[in-house]
Amino acid sequence: MVSTTQDSTARSGLAAGPNLASPSRGSPLDDRAEPAEGRDASAATATRSDNSTRSARSRDETFVEFIDVEKMYGDFQAVKRLRLTVGRGEFLTFLGPSGSGKTTTLNMLAGFERPSQGVITLAGKSVDRLPPYERNIGMVFQNYALFPHMSVEQNVAFPLSVRKTPKADIAPRVRRALEMVRLEQFKHRKPAQLSGGQQQRVALARALVFEPTLVLMDEPLGALDKKLREHMQIELKQIHEMLGVTMVCVTHDQTEALTMSDRVAVFDHGAVVQIGTPHGLYNEPATEFVASFIGENNALDGVVESVGAGQCLVALPGGLKATALSIGDIRPGGPVRLTIRPERIALSAGGGPTDNSHQATVDDRIYHGDHQRLLARLANGQVLTVKVGPEMAAATNETVDLFWSSTDCRAFPASAVADGNQPSIGRAS
């Protein structure tokens, strides 16, 4: 599997920067250590009509490829210069806020929208002139789009019967698909007689029964309640592993993206701002947007005092100082925003490097069952959320010491905050 950033300058901006926590990772955008040249070469061959020179591996890694794809609605640019690859058998999730272009991108892949610019290839061939019904892509819609006048069985048989599959083959394949989603006993019901979760599974069986090479899902779990959603996330993941089918899933639920995906592409304002494994995105966000969008983060605004080897010293209001990893274009005197995860702040100087330490008073303590959250007020009045164990017992207004490692604290240029829609790292070089 390989990833391509949406913008090659993004990588060079990053490569100049940080001294990353884990030496095994190439860059926050791409956690597979692969030389950039190799990737560029494979991208180049993908556009060539002659595929024979490509290795089996690179063909698998660029099963789906978006090459500089743009989508305009009138004057409005819904998708901007998208470069993206999906590997064969991969589970890729598009994650992003509402209106960031995820559905549009998915619809272009499914064939319901045509790119205004650029090319989409599927298994090495451009799909530009291929109508949706010839793409052999299974799709699960947000509201499932089950056919209300057909029974569950007829719904699942539909893709087979329109393909003129012999009648004798249809019944066993439908049965197997329904068994896979554990709905055999409901096959004579109409969709309206099923619960939301059952409908979702019918939609899944219908999208999988004709053995498509690629399955697209637009917010497949969006209509389910929290508990069912969590259950279906695991089920989807298991089905993906069992069938080895390539899946592209859209969601705006970051937990869902982290749970299910091999890789996640984070969308913002029509562009992919970062793509990587859930682990990579969570621990090494490349922009302030990703840092705040995925997981919870504390944000501290300050001014850079000095810049060292991948790190910087930041002056916070009220005379406090903090060291952090420099991400992107960090210059002395420039405004920055520091982000630090609540679980990376410790109350004791115990395990690991804790080169930042500050005194704080407890504003409040919120009980969550398996953990608690402290709202800790720094001397300058800024409040940090700290995740602590369930047995921790700090009284309100008690003074505590906060410790964190500078490698867990990331400094982003504050200009990226001002116009958050632009990935600042893209403009760094």
For ligand ATP, the binding residues (CB under 6 A) are 73, 76, 78, 96, 98-104, 252
Binding footprint of another protein, residue count (CB under 8 A) = 27
Question: Would you state the structure tokens that stand for residue 66, as one six-digit string?
Answer: 């978006």
Task: Using the minimum distance from each CB to Mg ion, give the nearer residue, 103 or 198.
Answer: 103
CB of 4 closer than 8 Å to CB of 84? yes
Question: Would you state the structure tokens that stand for residue 338, as one six-digit string?
Answer: 């520091």
E-strand ranges in 269-355 read: 271-276, 298-307, 311-315, 321-326, 335-340
Angle at 290 between CA 235 and CA 255, to 5 degrees: 20
**Per rule CB under 5 A, is residue 198 in the interface with Mg ion?**
no
Task: Using the minimum distance from each CB to Mg ion, give the nearer residue, 218 or 408.
Answer: 218
**Per rule CB under 8 A, is residue 132 in the interface with another protein?**
yes
Shortest distance in whole angstroms from residue 207 CB to ligand ATP: 18
The item of another protein, Mg ion, ligand ATP, none sharing an interface with residue 282, based on CB under 5 to 8 Å by kind, is none
**Per rule CB under 5 A, is residue 326 in the interface with Mg ion?**
no
Alpha helix (H) residue ranges in 88-213: 102-110, 152-162, 167-180, 196-208
**Per rule CB under 8 A, is residue 138 in the interface with another protein?**
yes
Shortest distance in whole angstroms from residue 147 CB to another protein: 6
* DSSP-assigned letter for residue 25: -
Residues 140-179, mask of contacts with another protein (x by CB under 8 A):
-xxx-xxxxx--------xx--xx----------------
Distances in Å between the alpha carbon of 313 and those of 171, 316, 322, 331, 406?
Answer: 67, 10, 6, 10, 10
**Per rule CB under 8 A, is residue 73 in the interface with another protein?**
no
**Per rule CB under 8 A, is residue 206 in the interface with another protein?**
yes
Helices 196-208 and 167-180, axial angle in degrees (round to 10): 140
Q: Which stretch binds another protein (CB under 8 A): 97-105, 125-133, 312-320, 332-340?
A: 125-133
The item of Mg ion, ligand ATP, another protein, none sharing an interface with residue 339, based on CB under 5 to 8 Å by kind, is none
CA-CA distance, 220 to 100, in Å (whole number)? 17
CA-CA distance, 417 to 170, in Å (whole number)? 55
Task: Using the minimum distance from each CB to Mg ion, give the nearer residue, 252 or 337.
Answer: 252
Per DSSP, the residues of 341-358 read -GGG-BSSS-SS---EEE
The residue number with the shortest CB distance to ligand ATP is 103
CA-CA distance, 93 to 98, in Å (whole number)? 15
Burial (0-12, 13-18, 19+ Cβ within 10 Å), 132 = middle
Shortest distance in whole angstroms from residue 94 CB to ligand ATP: 8
The item of another protein, ligand ATP, Mg ion, none sharing an interface with residue 57, based on CB under 5 to 8 Å by kind, is none
Find, among 365, 65, 361, the residue nearest to 214 by Cα: 65
Shortest distance in whole angstroms from residue 229 CB to Mg ion: 17
**Between residue 99 and residue 118, which ones bind Mg ion under the rule CB under 5 A?**
103
Angle at 303 between CA 299 and CA 306, to 5 degrees: 120
**Per rule CB under 8 A, is residue 222 in the interface with another protein?**
no
The item of another protein, ligand ATP, Mg ion, none sharing an interface with residue 138, based on CB under 5 to 8 Å by kind, is another protein
Task: Using the minimum distance from each CB to ligand ATP, give the nearer residue, 217 or 324.
Answer: 217
**Per rule CB under 5 A, is residue 200 in the interface with Mg ion?**
no
Shortest distance in whole angstroms from residue 73 CB to ligand ATP: 3
CA-CA distance, 10 to 287, in Å (whole number)? 10
Long-range interactions of 347-352: CB distance < 8 A, separation 24+: 347/386, 347/388, 347/392, 347/400, 347/401, 347/402, 347/403, 348/401, 348/403, 349/401, 349/403, 352/405
Task: Using the minimum distance from each CB to Mg ion, give the nearer residue, 58 or 103.
Answer: 103
Chain residues that interact with another protein, rule: CB under 8 A: 110-112, 131-133, 135-139, 141-143, 145-149, 158-159, 162-163, 206-207, 210, 216
Chain residues that interact with Mg ion, rule: CB under 5 A: 103
